[in-house]
C-alpha cells in the first residue's frame, strides 16, 4: 500500500479524497490542499494537467456538498485558494483550469445542483477581481484575465463554453465590478473590461444572447448613469427624501460614454460584424452619444441615426403600420381559433347525446322488427307456453271427441231402441192382422172387428 501511494501522484490522491462520500475526509483534503498549493507554487509550480486534476476533485467536492450554508462556506474556501498563489502565471493557470473544468462539466450538472455551481462561479470571479485590485489594476494583468474569459465564456470560438455560462456571467459581471472596484476603477480600465463584450456583439450568432448582453451590460450602464438617476427622481416625486439622499450618496461606476460609443461604432463598420447585429449596435451608439450630451435616451429609439440608417422615416412608418395590421390579424385569428375551439368543445359535448339518440332509434327499430317477427312467428321465449297451449287444445279436442263419441253412442242407442219399438209395433200389427184373417176364416164369413163395431156404433 505504501509503495502504491508513493507511485501515485499527489494530484490524483487529492482528487480522490476531495470526492469522498464523508464530509470529514473532504474537509481534511481541502485543508491539506491549501498547504500543498502554497508550498509547491513557490518551488516547482503546477502544470496544466496537474491543475485540471485538482479542479476535477474540487468540482466533485462541491458536487457532494449539501445544505445551503455549508455550500456557501465551501464556495468561499475553494475560491480563496486563488490567494495562495504568489506567482501570477500560476494564479492565471489556476483560473484557466477552473473555467475549462466548468465548461467541460456544465452539461452534466442537474438543475438541483446548478445553483451552487453558479454561486461558485460568482465567488471565483469576485476573487479574481480582488486579486487584480491588489495588483492595482495593472493593464497587462487585466488583459490576461480577460483573455481567459474571452477564451471560454465571452466568445463564440471552438473552445467557447456553453450558453448558460455566458448568460450567467453577463448577469453578474457589472455587479462584481461595482462591488470590488467601485472606488478604485477608472473609466479607462472599465473600458478595457467592456471591450470583450463589444467584440462579442459583432460576432455572436445567438440573437438571444445578444439581446441579453444588451440588456444586462449596456442598458444597465445607461440606467445607472447620472442622467438616468435624474430622470428617475423626476418620475418618483412621492418617494421619501431620505431614500433619495441615500441613493445619491451611493457610489457608482464611472464610464466614458463617448469612448463606448466610438468603440461600438468602429466595430460595427468593420467587415467582421454580422449584418443582423448592426441595428442593435447602432442603437447603442445612439444612446451612448445622447448620454454623453446629457440627454437620457428614450425607449422608443430603434436603429441608428439618420446619416447611417438607410431606412427613411416614411418606410419606417409604413413598417409600423404593417406590423399593427399583422398584430390585428393575429388577434382576429386567435379569436377565430378560440371560437372554433369552443364550438368543437360544444360539439364534442353534444355528439355523445346525438349518438345516444341514434342508438335509441336503432333500438326502437330493432324492437319493431322483433315485434313484427313475433307476429309472424312466435318468440322463442314463449315456446313452453305454446307447448302447454297445444297440449291443452289437444286434451280439449280429445274431451270433445269423447263427448261426441258419448253423444253418438247415446243417439245410436236411442235409434236402436226406437227401431226395436217400431219393429215390435209392426210385429204386433202383423199378429193382429193374422189373427183377424184367421178369425174371418174360422167364422165362415162373420166379420166382427173392433173397427166395424166402432163403425156400427
HEC profile for 415-447? HHHHHHHHHHHHHHHHHHHHHHHHHHHHHCCCC
* Torsion sign, CA atoms 34, 35, 40, 41: positive
The three cell numbers locating residue 416? 236402436
For the chain, which residues score pLDDT lower than 50?
A: 1-5, 246-248, 300-309, 351-361, 363-364, 371, 375, 378-379, 381-388, 404, 436-449, 457
Q: Indicate left, alpha or beta for 294 from its phi (over 0: left) and psi (-120 to 50: alpha).
A: left
> What was the pLDDT predicted at 252?
80
Cα-Cα-Cα-Cα dihedral of 28, 33, 35, 41, to 10°?
Answer: 180
> What was the pLDDT predicted at 160?
73
Q: Is 72 in contact with 117 (CB distance < 8 Å)?
A: no
Radius of gyration for the alpha carbons in the chain, expressed in angstroms and rounded: 60
Q: Domain map of the chain by residue range?
A: 8-118
> What was the pLDDT predicted at 444?
43
Kindly list the distances between the CA atom of residue 7 and the CA atoms of 3, 11, 20, 28, in Å, as whole numbers in the listed order. 6, 12, 21, 22
The three cell numbers locating residue 376? 309472424
> What was the pLDDT predicted at 316?
75
Q: Is 61 in contact with 19 (CB distance < 8 Å)?
A: yes
CA distance 61 to 97: 16
Give me the half-sphere count of Cα atoms (radius 13 Å) on the Cβ side of residue 357.
4
3 state DSSP class of 374: helix
Q: Is 273 in contact with 202 (CB distance < 8 Å)?
A: yes
Kindly list the distances between the CA atom of residue 305 and the CA atoms of 80, 302, 314, in Å, as whole numbers in the listed order. 48, 9, 15
The three cell numbers locating residue 210? 445578444
> What was the pLDDT predicted at 416?
59
**φ/ψ (deg, to 5) at 21:** -75, -35
Its pTM stands at 0.62
Amino acid at each position: 500500500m505504501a509503495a502504491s501511494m508513493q507511485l501515485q501522484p499527489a494530484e490524483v490522491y487529492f482528487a480522490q479524497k476531495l470526492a469522498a462520500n464523508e464530509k470529514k475526509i473532504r474537509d481534511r483534503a481541502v485543508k491539506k490542499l491549501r498547504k500543498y498549493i502554497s508550498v509547491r507554487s513557490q518551488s516547482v509550480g503546477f502544470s496544466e494537467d496537474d491543475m485540471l486534476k485538482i479542479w476535477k476533485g474540487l468540482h466533485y467536492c462541491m458536487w457532494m456538498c449539501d445544505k445551503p450554508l455549508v455550500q456557501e462556506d465551501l464556495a468561499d474556501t475553494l475560491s480563496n485558494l486563488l490567494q495562495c498563489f504568489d506567482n501570477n502565471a500560476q494564479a492565471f493557470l489556476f483560473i484557466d483550469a477552473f473555467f475549462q473544468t466548468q465548461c467541460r462539466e456544465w452539461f452534466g450538472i442537474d438543475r438541483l445542483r446548478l445553483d451552487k455551481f453558479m454561486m461558485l462561479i460568482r465567488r471565483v470571479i469576485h476573487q479574481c477581481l480582488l486579486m487584480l485590485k491588489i495588483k492595482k489594476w495593472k493593464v497587462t494583468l487585466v488583459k490576461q484575465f480577460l483573455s481567459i474569459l474571452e477564451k471560454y465564456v465571452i466568445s463564440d470560438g471552438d473552445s467557447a463554453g456553453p450558453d448558460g455560462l455566458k448568460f450567467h456571467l453577463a448577469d453578474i459581471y457589472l455587479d462584481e465590478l461595482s462591488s470590488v472596484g467601485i472606488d478604485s476603477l477608472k473609466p479607462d480600465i472599465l473600458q478595457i473590461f467592456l471591450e470583450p463584450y463589444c467584440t462579442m456583439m459583432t460576432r455572436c450568432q445567438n440573437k438571444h444572447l445578444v439581446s441579453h448582453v444588451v440588456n444586462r451590460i449596456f442598458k444597465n450602464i445607461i440606467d445607472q448613469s447620472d442622467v438616468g438617476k435624474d430622470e428617475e427622481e423626476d418620475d418618483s416625486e412621492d418617494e421619501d427624501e431620505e431614500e433619495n439622499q441615500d441613493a445619491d450618496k451611493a457610489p457608482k461606476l464611472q464610464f466614458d460614454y463617448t469612448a463606448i460609443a466610438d468603440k461600438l461604432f468602429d466595430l460595427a463598420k468593420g467587415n467582421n460584424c454580422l449584418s443582423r447585429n448592426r441595428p442593435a449596435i447602432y442603437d447603442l451608439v445612439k444612446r451612448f452619444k445622447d448620454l454623453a450630451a446629457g440627454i437620457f435616451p428614450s425607449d422608443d429609439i430603434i436603429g441608428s441615426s439618420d446619416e447611417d440608417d438607410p431606412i427613411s422615416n416614411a418606410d419606417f412608418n409604413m413598417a409600423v403600420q404593417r406590423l399593427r395590421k399583422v398584430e390585428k390579424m393575429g388577434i382576429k385569428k386567435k379569436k377565430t381559433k378560440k371560437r372554433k375551439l369552443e364550438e368543437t368543445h360544444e360539439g364534442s359535448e353534444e355528439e355523445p347525446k346525438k349518438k345516444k339518440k341514434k342508438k335509441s332509434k336503432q333500438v326502437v327499430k330493432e324492437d319493431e322488427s322483433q315485434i313484427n317477427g313475433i307476429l309472424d312467428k312466435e318468440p322463442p321465449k314463449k315456446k313452453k307456453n305454446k307447448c302447454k297451449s297445444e297440449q291443452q287444445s289437444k286434451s280439449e279436442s280429445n274431451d270433445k271427441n269423447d263427448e261426441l263419441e258419448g253423444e253418438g253412442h247415446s243417439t245410436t242407442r236411442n235409434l236402436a231402441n226406437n227401431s226395436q219399438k217400431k219393429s215390435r209395433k209392426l210385429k204386433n200389427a202383423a199378429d193382429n192382422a193374422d189373427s183377424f184373417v184367421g178369425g174371418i176364416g174360422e167364422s165362415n164369413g162373420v166379420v166382427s172387428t173392433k173397427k166395424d163395431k166402432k163403425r156400427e156404433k
